[in-house]
Amino acid sequence: MDKKNIKADNWDGRSRPTNKAYDEGYNRIFGQKEIKELDESLKQSKANRKEHKDKELEKIADRNGF
């Protein structure tokens, strides 16, 4: 029981040390995507949204007889 108290007393509040290996692993897993990839994704998303909106407008026009 005394060992747990000693261990807790020595803890400085950091769950993992930040060293070079940790930073590299973190960046590998959670690193930012390239700007080019993000731009392509945005373009595709906008195209999909426009296509979806156009289809919905066609449905409404057909339903209303325009």
User: Would the pLDDT of 6 be above 70?
Assistant: no
Q: Give dist(CA 49, CA 42) in Å, integer.
A: 10
Q: Which of 34, 14, 33 is nearest to 22 (CA)?
A: 14
Domain residue spans in the chain? Answer: 19-64
Q: For 15-58, what is each residue's pLDDT tens digit?
A: 766 788 888 888 888 776 677 788 889 999 999 999 999 999 99
Q: Give dist(CA 15, CA 23) in Å, integer.
A: 14
Q: Give me the torsion for CA of 58, 61, 62, 65, rounded to 10°.
A: -160
How high is the pLDDT of residue 46? 95
User: What ranges in the chain are assigned the alpha helix state H?
Assistant: 2-10, 20-30, 35-64
pTM of the model: 0.42
